[in-house]
Amino acid sequence: MDRYRRAGPRAGWSAGRIVALAADLVALIIVVWIVLDLLDANGSNAVVQWFHDAATWLAGWSIGIFHLSRHWAQVIVDYGIAAVVYLVAGHALARLLSRL
């Protein structure tokens, strides 16, 4: 019977791990879009369009908070704020869930 019990609080896929992984995935999607935009990727490509749509949907709340004159700086700030917030909030929530 003991071999089927969990080995401790860090074993298996806990709710905290799932939340942290989701936060990492959301931030990764946003960062990939930042890189694609800064490298002037082909906007008519389906993969580039998917990352643009996903990142814009995820970061819609942070777009336009600041107005900067350079496009590259605007993209980094608009989407970067969202990526950082998702990482910080997601990992804080994951830590809280892991303690429960």
| DSSP conformation letters of 66-87 | S--SSHHHHHHHHHHHHHHHHH
Nearest residue to 98 (alpha-carbon basis) of 5, 25, 20, 4:
20
Give the C-alpha separation, 79 to 36, whole Å. Answer: 12
For the chain, the domain total comes to 1
Q: What local confidence, expressed as pLDDT, does residue 8 receive?
A: 54
Average pLDDT over residues 15-44: 96
Domain span at 25: 14-99
* Per-residue DSSP letter, 92: H
Residue 70 belongs to some domain of the structure: yes
* 31 within a domain of the structure (yes/no): yes
- Interatomic CA distance for residues 83 and 58, integer angstroms: 9
Instruction: Judge whether 1 lies within some domain.
Output: no
Arithmetic mean of pLDDT, 48-62: 97
DSSP state, residue 43:
T
Residue 87 lies in a domain: yes
The verdict on residue 2 lying in a domain is no
What pLDDT, on a 0 to 100 scale, did the predictor assign at position 99?
85
Would residue 56 count as lying in a domain? yes
